[in-house]
Amino acid sequence: MTLAFLIPGPLDQLTGGYLFERKTIDGLRAAGRTITVAELAGRFPAADDLARSTAAAALAGLPDGSTAVIDGLALPAFTDCLGAETRRLHLIGFIHHPLSLETGLRPDVAHAYAMLEARLWPLLSGIICPSAHTANAVKMNRVCADRVEIVRPGTAKATAGRPSKSAGPLELLAVGTVTPRKGHLLLIDALAQLRHLAWRLTCIGSLERDAATTAALRRAIAAKNLGDRILLAGERASSSLSAAYASADVFVLPSLEEGYGMVYAEAMAHGLPVIATTAGAIPDTVPANASLLVPPGDAAALREALRLVITDASLRARLAAGAAVAAAALPDWPTAVRHWAAALDRLVK
């Protein structure tokens, strides 16, 4: 069986969704499957003319009976060609989270994405999602439950225990692309009201994908005189990212929506207490005994959760213990790839 992955842009991008795809492709190849990867050109998910033409060409170039896995971020580029190609190809959607739930979209744009996904999802042979939250969103759009599979991403397990905190400010870590959905501005507002406490924050994630949000974040940090306590580190490779987890004391990311939340799983795998929100799939990914979860967008609740974790060492220890328990139940990457392959085979069959 010919198996093609159709990816929006370069596969080596440093986000959770692209990591999931890289690990899946590498694992399938290691298991002996022949994989082709088409890195589609153009703008995504806006789907400009270049994106549409490269998407159509990628499908047209596949032999009859092939299976093509389409990343959900690229799906708008297939609007004109998807219906016709379903007659000769097995088309599988890899839907990380609905595009219409991205924070910061104009209402008309969010509505357009919702209508597009509601039209295109049912045309696919099947859909693989990282969580029940995303799967439920798909099934609410006329997609039969037996055509939807849930496969959680894998997690690289930390190999050593965490040293106890001895002195110095508490090291807070946020990992996520700087976009409105990740809640960085809310985090800065909350921490500004806790400047009397001893903490430092490192934010790892792309500063280029959303230049307007990055500029607003820099302005907020400067306006609150927090430049000496907050580091915007930009993207990091996996090796240095693991070191950042290992040197942190607490993980915090107040996202307004998550289709799974791989960074939360990675934080727990490194034994970190987690401060997050109840948005999307986060409560399913991060259990209560490992975290303090607050309502999305609630600055006062976020500030109080931060205050508690920063000032209460025993609370941090309890949450860290809960994180270790939760991490033990997370699938590693070989297991995740096996589950993904089995899900794909069921959908194609």
Structure confidence at residue 163 (pLDDT): 57
Q: What is the CATH number of the domain that holds 200?
A: 3.40.50.2000
Structure tokens at 79: 């609007």
Residue 80 lies in a domain: yes
Domain count, the chain: 2
Which residues form the domain of 212?
A: 170-329
Residue 160 lies in a domain: no
Structure confidence at residue 156 (pLDDT): 85
13 and 37 share one domain: yes
Residue 271 lies in a domain: yes
244 and 126 share one domain: no
108 and 247 share one domain: no
Structure confidence at residue 104 (pLDDT): 87
Structure confidence at residue 164 (pLDDT): 55
98 and 40 share one domain: yes
Q: What are the pLDDT digits (tens) for 282-296?
A: 999 999 999 999 999
215 and 115 share one domain: no
Structure confidence at residue 301 (pLDDT): 98
d(CA 231, CA 75): 35
Task: Give the Cα-Cα-Cα angle 181, 269, 236 (nearest 5 degrees).
Answer: 55
Q: Give the global pTM.
A: 0.91
204 and 256 share one domain: yes
12 and 103 share one domain: yes
Query: What one-letter code names the amino acid at 339?
Result: H
Structure confidence at residue 237 (pLDDT): 85
Structure confidence at residue 168 (pLDDT): 82
Residue 183 lies in a domain: yes
Sheet containing 291-294: order of strands? 230-234, 199-204, 170-175, 250-252, 274-277, 291-294
Residue 219, C-beta contacts closer than 8 angstroms, at least 6 positions apart: none
181 and 301 share one domain: yes
Structure confidence at residue 161 (pLDDT): 54
Residue 163 lies in a domain: no
d(CA 270, CA 324): 8
27 and 15 share one domain: yes
Low-confidence ranges of the chain (pLDDT < 50): none
Residue 212 lies in a domain: yes
